[in-house]
Amino acid sequence: MNKKQTITITATILILASAVALSTVLEPIQVDALKGQGVPNQQGTSSKVCGDRLCSEPAPQKSASDADNNNDDTKNINDDDVKDDNQNKNAKNLDKDNSANKIKHRWLNVHSNVHTSFNEVIVIPTIEQDAFIHPFAVVIGNCHIGKMVFVAPTAVCRGDEGTPIHVGDGANMQDGVVIHALETVEEGHNIDDRRFSADGDRLKGDDPRFAEGFAAYVGNNVSLAHGSMIHGPAWIGDNTFVGMESLVFNAKIGINVAVGVSATITGGVEISDGKFVPPGAVITTQEQADALPERIGSHYEGTNDAVLNVNQQLAEGYDEMDLEKLIMEREKQMEKGMWETSIPHP
C-alpha cells in the first residue's frame, strides 16, 4: 500500500465518522417528544415522554431473555411517572428527571433554560405539533412556538433571561432571526415595564396580569425576515412584517404594520396599526412614530401575504419530510464522492 492510498483510506474513515456523528445529532430533528409536552398530537390526544419514546407509541416488544428485567423496567417507568407528577408541582426539579435529561441531551437544539436568580423555574420549550424547527435552529427555555410556525436554520428563540417568549400561529422566523429579552424578574421581584399583556398593554410589576405577561410577544402570521432581531420588552401585533436586519427593542408594533429593511425601532415607542416604517428608518421617539405613513399604498403593502404563503408551505413540507432518510441519502452521496475522488486519475 502506497502513501497516497493510506492517506485516502484515513481520510475516508475520518469523514465517515463525522457523518455518523452528525446523523446522531440530527436524528431527532422533528423534536416529536418535545412537541408532546402538553400539546395535542396529530390524533388529538395528549402525548408525553416515556423514556426515549412517546407514551402514545407502542412499547417495543421484549424477548424472552429480557423477562427477568421486566419487573425492574416497570418499577423504573413507575418511578419516572412519579417524578413527572412532582415536576408539575415543582418546576425547579424538572432538570433532575431522567426523561427531561434525556431530552435535554438528545435534542441538542431544543432544550431547557438553566436556573438563575432571574429565572428560578426551569422550562422546556412548548412546540405545537405542526410547527417545524430546523435542526440548525435553536429554541431554549420558556419559548412557545405556535402552529404552522417555520423556524429556519440559525434562527434562535432564547427564553433563558426575559421570559416568557411567545411566537404565534402561522408566524415565521427566517434565517438568523433572534428573539431574546431583558430579565423580567430579579430575585423574586417583578421589574416594571418588562412585560406586555397578550393584548399589548405594557405591564408594571405590581399589575396582577404581570404573571401572565410576555417579555417578547410575536403575534399570529407575523414574518420576521432574515437577520432581524426582536429583543424584549417587545410586542408585535398580528399580520406584521419585520424586514431583513431590522431591530425592534423596547417597543410595541401594532397589527398590519410593515417594517422596511434595516429599520430600528426602540426607545419605548408604539407604532400604530397599519403603519409603514421605511427601510433604514430609525424610530426612537413617539413623535417620529406618530408621523409614519400608512402601509396601504406603500411598496410593502402586500409583502407579508406573499412571505406567509411561502413560509407556511415550508413549515408544512419540512414537517412531513422524512429528514432522517434525507440524512442517510446525503451520507451515501458523501461516500460515493469519497470513492470517486479516491480513484486515481490517468
**Per annotation, catalytic residue among 27, 57, 128, 161:** 161
Nearest to 233, CA basis, from 194, 179, 189, 177: 194
**Per annotation, catalytic residue among 27, 128, 183, 324:** 183
Known active-site residue 161:
yes
The cell for 41 is 398530537
User: Is 111-323 in CATH node 3.20.20.70?
Assistant: no
**One digit per residue, pLDDT tens: the chain, 346 residues?**
554 444 444 444 444 444 434 444 334 334 444 444 433 333 333 333 323 333 233 334 444 444 444 545 544 445 555 444 544 444 444 443 333 333 333 457 999 999 999 988 999 999 998 899 998 999 999 999 999 999 999 999 999 999 999 999 999 999 999 999 999 999 889 999 999 999 999 999 999 999 999 999 999 999 999 999 999 999 999 999 999 999 999 999 999 999 999 999 999 999 999 999 999 999 999 999 999 999 999 999 999 999 998 888 888 887 666 665 665 666 677 676 666 555 565 5
Known active-site residue 320:
no
Cα–Cα distance for residue pair 158/232, rounded to 1 Å:
11
Domain boundaries, the chain: 111-323
pTM of the model: 0.67
Nearest to 146, CA basis, from 85, 84, 217, 90: 217
Measured in degrees and rounded to the nearest 5, phi and psi for residue 249 equal: -145, 130
Cα–Cα distance for residue pair 169/222, rounded to 1 Å:
9
Provide the β-strand partners of residue 145. 127, 167
